[in-house]
Structure 1
Amino acid sequence: MLSSALRSMRTRWVTFIGTFVALALGVGLIAMTGLALAATFDAPERRPERFAGTPVVVAPSDTLRVATPVGERTAVLTDPRPVPQGLVTGLSALGRTAEDRTFPVRLAGNDAVGHPWSVAAATPYRVTSGRAPHGPDEVVVTAGAGAGLRTGDRIRITTPGSAAGTGTRTVVGTVADAGFETAVFFDDAEAARIHPAVDAVGVHAEADAVRRLTRDFPGMSVLTGDDRRRADPDPDRDSEALTAVNALLGTAAGITGFVSVFVVASTFSFAVAQRRREFGLLRTAGATPGQVRRTVVVEALVIGVLASAAGCLLGEAAAPMLAGRLADEGLAPAWFAIGDATWPLHTAFWTGLGVALAGAAVSSHRAGRIRPVEALRDASVDTAGMTPSRLLLGAAVLLTGLGLLGWSLLTDPGDVLKRKTYILQPMWIVVGCALLAPLVVRPLTRLLTWLPARLPGATGLLARQNASTGIRRTAAVAAPVLINVALAGSLLGTVATIGEAKATEAAAVSGADFVAGGDGPLDPRFVERVRNVPGAVTSASRSTGVTVLEEGTALISSEARAADPAGLAATARLPLVSGRIEDLDDDSVVVNEEWEKRTVGQRVSVWLGDGRKVSLRIAAVMRTGTGSNGVYVTPANAAGAAVDRVDVKLLGGADLAAVRALLEEAGRDTGTTVMTREAWVTAHHPRTGANTRAGLLLILGIALLYTGISLANTLVMATSDRVRDLAVLRLTGATKPQVLRLVAVEALVVVAVGAVLGGAVAGLNLLGVKGALELLSVSSPVVVPWTALGAVLAACAVAAAVSAVLPALAALRTRPVEIAGSRE
């Protein structure tokens, strides 16, 4: 049986090479994404940075811990409490201390952080030139800060959120760059004036003594050893970055796995369909159905082993390039690299072999049922319908996809807008439509070619007849195009539509004419000046957070804004479903419909941004929308957060130009950017996030490249199998250019069929997103990614035409009489 299979593979090497390529590429994709995914499971160990030279650090805990019946639940606090002054005094009695005050600084147009000079030794920073600062107008900067700053330079420094505001200071020294921040060091007294709160204290004392003292101050953490890194800026950046990469690669693995399995199975099925004449001859020669089946399975086993091994090697070689691309695009940390895990290679190999054998098992069952006379009679014209098993499977998959979409729309429309849902759920519909494609290939082909078939010349008519009579061939070639168009349209269109909806919702919620801030604390002088602008009403708000325990086990944190109720009511149009903004006070909260408790007048226990637990009355309830409608409290419940946004609305009869001039003047004097509402929405609510779009394009690029290669591969297989048909055309008088033109037109017809089917699938998925937005009362148009779809179609058309014409050109080199007279 093995020798027979090997001889068959040598005879029909084009078919088997095509199957080998499809399987090897599929396994390579799985191995590549698997290796990259495995590299995201562990972040590198980082040593303490800011307090590397201090044995003990006392810092506020940024973690809220709540005991529940199912164990402790944690959440991140947005505004941890500063170190109490009493604790600072007590620590100074234990040993030498370094008080850290960290605040944002704008230096030469760049973002930096400010510190008191005394904490520089805790890193330690080393002076490379000059001296330490000794007065309010002197600073020390890290080497490389600003545009070539040197000792003696006078620079303009802005400290947003502080009373010190903007001023010109002298650089009296520089320190070596520590690599984790761009620092500006002030005199200790000046730093305390700018930022009175103490954010952390480095202590040169026994850790046990520090712990005993700290017990009387709840909410404080004593950090020693590697735990000191918790006091570093953004200590979880590595794990958070890897979590984002893990989610991206997990999605990529799911999509590429789906695409590769489907394409490989389709290629095996098409390869068996191409050999109907061969199997018919075997049956005529006396081969039993079991022998035919075993032949197909053995061939698949040989190809599966070889192709899976080649795919693993290919994936192992490509994985570092994928990791480098992720780092270059900013989707992964600069240090991200492939590790030494081997389980993705084993997974990819056995998955490839399993798919090959599974595809062969299904195809071999069909091959064994071929009757000799029927096979010989139908070998040239393939108008057979779908097998019952494929029909049932396709209907089941499609109905499952539609059912999941319908269930989400009925029970939780917001779930349709979540990334995992809108990326993975459409796959059911794509697979179902691809499986059922042969049902509509013939009528759709005849519809699309109705006009070309009536044009002068025989090319259009022959292309129509060839595409509509070779149903299996047309369906096999159209399937990759369907997947390409459906994936590009569904994923990119959904992300763009949701982004447009979020921007539309943000613009509708804001009733302001001008907005300032949104990127960090604002200068108090700017806030005060804006409040006194005649002809306008302002609302100064703060970013904070609120955490609630729902159902007794789920600790859920929500973004919140703290604002004065009167100013908020005047400048915002909150999408309320009950209650009034004016009823908001220090004892109440405005929530949205996602909350477990959402009845006006009900009291709910929450933890504020600094970890304080309070009971607040629900003053109003907003609709959920796209998920951007958070929570509103008053400044008294904002844990001392600084003002980071000011909304300004003109009063009736006010002079727009005059108000704008006053706002821009205040902005120039304090280094604050003032925008119109439309400009602010565009800047802070982009239609598509750069990282989101880059990630999707990377995922789609991998999947589309593979399906594009598979499209070319299938066309090469299909065209090589039609050598006799092309020879007959030549014998009837067709010239070589006419034959090549016919082959190209037929390939483009099939691409058009796949494009229409893929467009229908993408349209169905986008209508589901539109329906979810309507149910959430968000009025926003569907965004169709025409540019991306055009690029995908152009690539498919070029790949199809070239892949069909080249093998046909090679076949036409042989004399038609020799081909027509040859035996298979």
Structure 2
Amino acid sequence: MSLAKAMVRYRWASFIGTFVALLLGVAVISGSLALWASAQPRVPAALSAAEVLVASPRYDPPEGGIPSYRPWSPDELDQLVERLGRIPGVDSAVPDRSFYVQRLVDGKPVGDAGDAVHSGRGWASAGLGPHQLKSGRPPERSDGVVVDAALGLPVGATLPVVTAAGPATWMVTGTIDGPGFYVDDATARSLAGGVRVIGLRLAPGTSPTEVADRLDLGALGTPLTGAARSAVEPERDSRTRWIGAQLIIATVLVGGFVAVFVVASTCAFSASQRRREIGLLRTIGATPGQVRRLLLAEVVLVALGAGVLGSVFGALLAPLLEGPLVAVGLEPTGFQVGFSWWAVVVSLLTGLVVAALGVWLSARRASQVPALDALREAAVEKRPMTLSRWVFGLLAVVVGGGLAVLVPGSTAEQKPTVVLGSAMVLLVAAALLAPVVVVPLVRLVTWPARRGATGMLVREGTLVAARRVASTAAPVLAAVGFAVLLVGTSQTALEAVGIEDTAKIPETAVVVPASAPGLSEAAVVAQQGRSELVSTVFLTSGKPIRAAGSPTADGLFAAPSLGWNAGQAVPLRFEDGTVQTMTVSAVRDDALIDTVVLPRALLRAHDPTALTEVVYLAGSFTATPGAEQVTAREYVEREAGEEGDLINLFLAVLLGISVGYTGLAVASTLLMATYGRRQEFVTLHRTGATAGQAVRVVVVEALLAVLTGTLLGLAVAVPALFEARAGLQDEIGAEVTLVMPWTTLFAVVGMCAVLAVLAGTLPFLRRGGLSVGTRTMAG
């Protein structure tokens, strides 16, 4: 260990890349784990004062995903409330009824549209939360409401609102010290859908666990206490958290994987530069095992320092992402990040494991080098390609080429996936075989400058050091290829979706929600056009399926995926909990997967909270609160934009991590290479070269390596983009414009070029290293 400490101090430049890679990787993992720990489901604030919550029957999708709760029927609910209220220790059993409501200011909805879906409640539900009445009195009439005191509305003020039924004007009867709109229970019953949660308030000193144990609900529901009450979090919030969790998991995986790649790359390059040093150790009696342990101990020491700093750094920075995550819809309102010690410890240990994995292969290869071979190693590389690179590189070519051959025979739906898979594998192949491709490519690129002094030095120097150039070009190749391929494919696909969806809308104008989660019934009735009311119905298994209410439907129409036949009797449970057996009128091939189409009036009668997504205008637009008119193309672009924003966010995070590490790998490789070429630059100086000329050689070599990687990446990615566009055109039967992500390309290449130049010239700016002064260089 003492020798390892001495080597780290002496060869610190060789460990800069490893240190920074591990620090950033551990910081990403630490921050992501802190976010994940804080993003777990929580007890809804409006129900947090209820010591016991009884949840309705739960359905867990067999393929995994977010569970759902089907509502109790009115009879089940009444019997259950009465029965729970008689349990010893229970003061009250209150069904929680929530509904959509938004305040109107100047005729426009205000506030968070997502939170508004369940912001309205009956006054009885106020006792299930921690908030208290601050002024006024509870609502007693259908036009009364208790509001959040933070709104600044005095008792007696009028409050314009919009609900699923339409606009209304309520009078403020009181204020409460918390968010929400509380109306009398009769009004809540008419505005809300089915009940899925019953809150129990207990007598003082009563144990919630003991009360829950006394409840024998069977299949009617599940009692929840303590932290388990978070299971009744609104499904919208759970879905939002689930999406956020996918991004966090992807960030951890990509961060960890790329960190291993960068550490392995820098360690391998460092080991190749230390062949003489390792050979000397072998000559004086060091065994292969001792060499491996030395290299491993060096990286572990670096990992400890980087891990401690990175784990604390990531945990402290995580709270800064609270606002952005809520703003982009990856976390619900009120999301807060706390400091998690376990996240710090786990990320630190992960950093040590990543360091060990990254160094193991290079340490094993370096320890097997014969002593005399290492001591006789010349400066010119004799074998830039190892056997493993040949094997895996050629295997990747075969697999990627095989997938490319399958493209013409694939279906329109399969082509984009096959093209993407082929391109990914070929990018890996290009990175592995880069030392082979570098030589002819460098000859071609440097041909015009072969007669100048700098051009000749760069040309000949790179030709005899193909592995060094490939080590710099390979990460650039991967970054450029992945960035162009992923961003270009996703943007071209969104363009195709917009063209396809616009063609499906014969109308030139549509009415859509404005700052609201959907259109109210009054907004729909005011327009002349076709629309669907979207709701949910439940099968006897408890599985929820999509229900569309159409004014032209005169029965039950089902999607083929449900496996029903015309004339079959099917019991359905609606949003209000009512169960009704209906006969399938027909099976429609044009229905969405797992969807039923019902008469609009029937669906509305059973779901007073349902909102309409869009109205396709057949006449003129009538202005109503929460509605606006847009063109069909604008509507499609808005819908695609919401999905595209989420996709772009995922791509930005993944590319940000991978491209950041790419720049780090490039900088680390060139920094180590420049330090390792000290004697070469001293020789140049003694033959008459100035320090400025040596710097120009390094700069041009760095830019040449970046250019080489860029050209190789584009050589794989651009043809794949054209193939992907062709597949999309076949799928939708229309011309699709290829979107080339120039901004992304220039940003990636520019960052790699700047970092490469800085890393290559940094040693020349340090006294005691490669000084700008020629005397220091020569000395």
TM-score computed with the length of structure 2 as normaliser: 0.79
Please, which of 148, 152, 155 is the counterpart of residue 151 of structure 1? 155
Aligned equivalents of 2:202 and 2:777: distance in 1? 93
Aligned equivalents of 2:354 and 2:63: distance in 1? 39
Question: Structure 2, unaligned stretches of length 5 or more?
Answer: 87-91
Trace 1:274-285 onto structure 2 (pairs within 5 A).
274-275=273-274
| Alpha-carbon shift at residue 798 of structure 1 (Å) | 1.0
Trace 1:408-427 onto structure 2 (pairs within 5 A).
none
Aligned equivalents of 1:604 and 1:383: distance in 2? 78
| Alpha-carbon shift at residue 565 of structure 1 (Å) | 5.4
Aligned equivalents of 1:472 and 1:801: distance in 2? 19
Please, which of 357, 360, 378 is the counterpart of residue 357 of structure 1? 360
| Alpha-carbon shift at residue 700 of structure 1 (Å) | 3.0
3-state SS of the aligned residue for 1:50? helix
Q: Partner letter of residue 257 of structure 1?
A: G
Please, which of 45, 59, 82 is the counterpart of residue 64 of structure 1? 59
Aligned equivalents of 2:776 and 2:227: distance in 1? 80
| Alpha-carbon shift at residue 755 of structure 1 (Å) | 1.5
Answer yes or no: is 1:317 the counterpart of 2:312: yes
Aligned equivalents of 1:212 and 1:722: distance in 2? 78
Counterpart for residue 581 of structure 1: none
Q: Partner letter of residue 119 of structure 1?
A: S
| Alpha-carbon shift at residue 361 of structure 1 (Å) | 1.4
Counterpart for residue 458 of structure 1: 453
Counterpart for residue 550 of structure 2: 563
Answer yes or no: is 1:544 the counterpart of 2:512: no
Aligned equivalents of 1:408 and 1:618: distance in 2? 38
Please, which of 610, 613, 629 is the counterpart of residue 645 of structure 1? 613
Q: Partner letter of residue 679 of structure 1?
A: E
Counterpart for residue 173 of structure 2: 172
Counterpart for residue 122 of structure 2: 116
Of residues 633-642 and 115-124 in structure 1, the stretch that sits farther from structure 2 once superposed is 633-642
Please, which of 745, 748, 752 is the counterpart of residue 792 of structure 1? 748
Aligned equivalents of 2:629 and 2:288: distance in 1? 74
Please, which of 779, 783, 790 is the counterpart of residue 739 of structure 2? 783
Counterpart for residue 303 of structure 2: 308
Trace 1:93-132 onto structure 2 (pairs within 5 A).
98=94, 100-107=96-103, 108=105, 109-110=110-111, 111=113, 112=116, 113-123=119-129, 125-132=131-138
Counterpart for residue 340 of structure 1: 342
| Alpha-carbon shift at residue 154 of structure 1 (Å) | 2.8
Please, which of 747, 750, 757 is the counterpart of residue 705 of structure 2? 750
Q: Partner letter of residue 160 of structure 2?
A: R
Please, which of 579, 597, 617 is the counterpart of residue 633 of structure 1? 597
Aligned equivalents of 2:438 and 2:393: distance in 1? 15
Aligned equivalents of 1:470 and 1:74: distance in 2? 52
Q: 1:477 to 1:425 in 2, by over 3 A?
A: same
Answer yes or no: is 1:445 the counterpart of 2:455: no
| Alpha-carbon shift at residue 371 of structure 1 (Å) | 7.5
Q: Partner letter of residue 59 of structure 2?
A: L
Q: Deviations over 1:574-609 (max 9, x none)?
A: xxxxxxxxxxx6343234xxx4969x9798989777
Please, which of 146, 150, 154 is the counterpart of residue 140 of structure 1? 146
Q: 1:268 to 1:83 in 2, by over 3 A?
A: same
Q: 1:802 to 1:607 in 2, by over 3 A?
A: farther
Q: Deviations over 1:210-254 (max 9, x none)?
A: 999997xx98536464499479651784x6565444432332233
Answer yes or no: is 1:516 the counterpart of 2:511: yes
Counterpart for residue 89 of structure 2: none
Aligned equivalents of 2:613 and 2:634: distance in 1? 14
Answer yes or no: is 1:483 the counterpart of 2:481: no
| Alpha-carbon shift at residue 311 of structure 1 (Å) | 3.2
3-state SS of the aligned residue for 2:641? coil
Q: 1:85 to 1:205 in 2, by over 3 A?
A: farther
Q: Deviations over 1:613-666 (max 9, x none)?
A: 97857734359xxxx97745234795834351343254xxxxxxxx33xx1x3x
Q: Is the 8 A contact 1:56 1:202 kept in 2?
A: yes
Q: Is the 8 A contact 1:467 1:746 kept in 2?
A: yes
Aligned equivalents of 2:669 and 2:60: distance in 1? 57
Please, which of 46, 50, 63 is the counterpart of residue 50 of structure 1? 46
3-state SS of the aligned residue for 2:433? helix
| Alpha-carbon shift at residue 686 of structure 1 (Å) | 0.8
Q: 1:243 to 1:297 in 2, by over 3 A?
A: same
Q: Partner letter of residue 615 of structure 2?
A: D
3-state SS of the aligned residue for 1:808? helix
Trace 1:238-249 onto structure 2 (pairs within 5 A).
243-249=242-248
| Alpha-carbon shift at residue 760 of structure 1 (Å) | 3.4
3-state SS of the aligned residue for 2:145? strand
Q: Is the 8 A contact 2:566 2:584 kept in 1?
A: no
Counterpart for residue 574 of structure 1: none
Aligned equivalents of 2:196 and 2:278: distance in 1? 79
Please, which of 420, 431, 435 is the counterpart of residue 432 of structure 2? 435
Q: Is the 8 A contact 1:731 1:817 kept in 2?
A: no
Counterpart for residue 573 of structure 1: none
Aligned equivalents of 1:548 and 1:437: distance in 2? 59
Q: Is the 8 A contact 2:54 2:198 kept in 1?
A: yes
Answer yes or no: is 1:589 the counterpart of 2:564: no
Aligned equivalents of 1:718 and 1:426: distance in 2? 31
3-state SS of the aligned residue for 1:382? coil
Q: Partner letter of residue 799 of structure 1?
A: L
Counterpart for residue 183 of structure 1: 180
Counterpart for residue 652 of structure 2: 697
Counterpart for residue 234 of structure 1: 234
Q: Partner letter of residue 639 of structure 2?
A: H
| Alpha-carbon shift at residue 383 of structure 1 (Å) | 6.3
Q: 1:231 to 1:704 in 2, by over 3 A?
A: closer
Q: 1:409 to 1:619 in 2, by over 3 A?
A: farther
Q: Is the 8 A contact 1:608 1:638 kept in 2?
A: no
Aligned length: 737
Q: Partner letter of residue 158 of structure 2?
A: R
| Alpha-carbon shift at residue 677 of structure 1 (Å) | 1.5
Q: 1:430 to 1:556 in 2, by over 3 A?
A: farther
Answer yes or no: is 1:471 the counterpart of 2:466: yes
Aligned equivalents of 1:338 and 1:427: distance in 2? 37
Q: Partner letter of residue 788 of structure 1?
A: T
| Alpha-carbon shift at residue 358 of structure 1 (Å) | 1.8
3-state SS of the aligned residue for 1:522? coil
Counterpart for residue 259 of structure 1: 258
Q: 1:463 to 1:587 in 2, by over 3 A?
A: same
3-state SS of the aligned residue for 1:511? coil
3-state SS of the aligned residue for 2:447? coil
Q: 1:242 to 1:58 in 2, by over 3 A?
A: closer
Aligned equivalents of 1:213 and 1:9: distance in 2? 65
| Alpha-carbon shift at residue 203 of structure 1 (Å) | 6.4
Counterpart for residue 527 of structure 1: 524
Question: Structure 1, unaligned stretches of length 5 or more?
Answer: 550-554, 567-584, 651-658
Q: Partner letter of residue 221 of structure 1?
A: G
Aligned equivalents of 1:775 and 1:200: distance in 2? 49
Percent of aligned pairs sharing the same letter: 28
Q: Is the 8 A contact 2:538 2:572 kept in 1?
A: yes
3-state SS of the aligned residue for 1:139? strand
Aligned equivalents of 1:211 and 1:296: distance in 2? 62
3-state SS of the aligned residue for 1:510? coil
Q: Deviations over 1:474-499 (max 9, x none)?
A: 11121232233234334433443444
Q: Deviations over 1:349-400 (max 9, x none)?
A: 1342243132121244456683766x34xx2x43644223321122234545
3-state SS of the aligned residue for 1:685? helix
TM-score computed with the length of structure 1 as normaliser: 0.75
